[in-house]
Amino acid sequence: MTPGPAANTELGLRSKFRLDGRSAIITGGASGIGYAIAAEFSRAGATVHIVDRDGEAASAAADSIAAANTSAGGPIYAYACDVSDSAEVDSVFSALIAQHRVDVLVNNAGIAGIGRVDNTSAEDFDRVFNVNVKSVFHCTRACIAPMVEQGGGVILNLASIAASSGLADRFSYSMSKGAVLAMTYSIARDFIGQGIRCNAISPARVHTGFVDNYLQKNYAGKEAEMFEKLSAAQPIGRMAEPQEVANLALYLCSDEAAFVTGADYPLDGGFFKLHG
């Protein structure tokens, strides 16, 4: 049975949205949304493990988060790992799990895929599939048995509005995030009896370095104009900020969401219900 919210030991009160005593893995945690989640989880008291293909960036992110933490922040570690490679995941995660519990896994690592079905090469399709889909499989498989053995855990997958909405020129990306969403439901159903919750967040556009680099590469000299156009695609009139995704991630991985599993949370600025 999945445990309910924990009781407090002091004066019958407890702080909400805390992860004290929990150990959390965040893939793709060196930048963007992953960095924001890692920082938020550390502030909430979790022991945080940043897993990223770029080991130097992961270490720099860990140092930056640790430097900004107050005494309430949890410890933070960095690991170099290509999460699309099953052998590398098995090696890195087995060493990590030998030293730490895994209470929370956030499958955040991902890449973009631009193009339609008729101009997407097989190589590009495989690249997006390997990073966005296989990484969820590899990392979840590495963590699921320890979670079952310890009596529970939380898995959070970063999907996208592309999983459920037809976005132009996002064929491979939409495919991959649709698969992430389907895996979320499957994992939630298969392990509900073992105390494991699994949910997804589906953001609309989030203002990360990827957006800025994309605009510089494809719209040189027109970055501001295109930024406004992309922002206006959300009815709320702007892109999300990484911290807003991290806030929702903290809720879903905390005891306050103990009754939530098998759910997809759109963080979309009104895209689904108010678009058009």
Residues designated as active site: 173
Q: How far apart are CA 36 and CA 246, in angstroms?
A: 6
Cβ(49)–Cβ(98) under 8 Å?
no
Q: Which two tokens mark 85?
A: 């490679």
Q: How far apart are CA 225 and CA 121, in angstroms?
A: 30
Cβ(105)–Cβ(41) under 8 Å?
no
Cβ(148)–Cβ(101) under 8 Å?
no
As beta bridge partners, residue 24 has: 48, 104
Q: How far apart are CA 163 and CA 170, in angstroms?
A: 10
